[in-house]
Structure 1
Amino acid sequence: MSEAEFTAYVQERRASLYATAYHLTGDRYEAEDLLQSALFSTYRAWDRISDKAAVGGYLRRTMTNLHISAWRRRKLNEYPTEELPETVGDTDAMRGTELRAVLWQALARLPELQRTMLVLRYYEGRTDPEIADILDISVGTVKSSIWRSLRRLREDEVLSFGRDQEESFGELVA
């Protein structure tokens, strides 16, 4: 069989083969590498494949075997430990720290009672009735004050506080 047949087969099935590779790896770049390796291996064996209708299965099996082999090699290089490695220069952690600082500045601009309610709710995880008991005010006052506080934070230009961030407020201040 010829190189032209192999090329035609790959062009016809490229999308489905890539989808298989992607589902195996879960990463676009790893999927491309895996598919490339499987195609190279299949191309070398093209003349020995007598049933061309089975090429799809052959390629998928090749991708699976290559992926398992790569996973096993990678597994040998990783050993679990009791301690986590230090993350020097972790930009995500730095962004979280910066966001926390901006959040505390925005909280400082709120009236003391509103700030106290937000800290009790999101930092300490208290319920509205618990906050009401602690501050000796009604539950309705707690609810409306927290609502107004969150609205002020959402409108804060520096913070740009979004609706989806309300739930993660407790994580940010912890």
Structure 2
Amino acid sequence: MEFEEYVAARGQDLVRLGFTVSGDYQRAEDLAQIALMQAFRKWRKVRAADDPHHYVRRILVNEYLSMTRRRSFSEAPTADLDVRRTVPDHAADIANSDDLWRALATLSARERVVLVLRYYQDLDDQTIADVLGIKPSSVRATASRALASLRKARESNVPMRG
């Protein structure tokens, strides 16, 4: 597969992944662009991988986690998301409600990434562990903590539907 074919086939998937982890459409486009630039530089290696999309997805997730460690990135507000206004494609269908997005925005970047990869990208624990460079048991522990935080938020009168 040539790079141009990959971008045509998977570019929007990368933008959607960027949006679900960051909560910001412009940031999602930036993340996808950065991941594609890095993949282009190493395209022979990426193309030779068992799953090129997995390789590029890992680049995107690592870039997002790196960005969240930078002060200027993490100060950007994510709790006031208006998914319907910021996303021109089907990414808004991913969320069941604005309340869920607000609750997800309260999680750490790593917790949010684990939940997004597990429930929105439908990846198994081993694949998520490979993407994040951690053990599957760490994926399960992180997911458990994140879900507990979401349950606690729901019980604390954070109105979440569904």
TM-score (normalised: structure 1): 0.39
Higher relative contact order (CA 8 A, sep 6+): 2
Compare CA radii of gyration and give the structure with the larger one: 1
TM-score (normalised: structure 2): 0.42
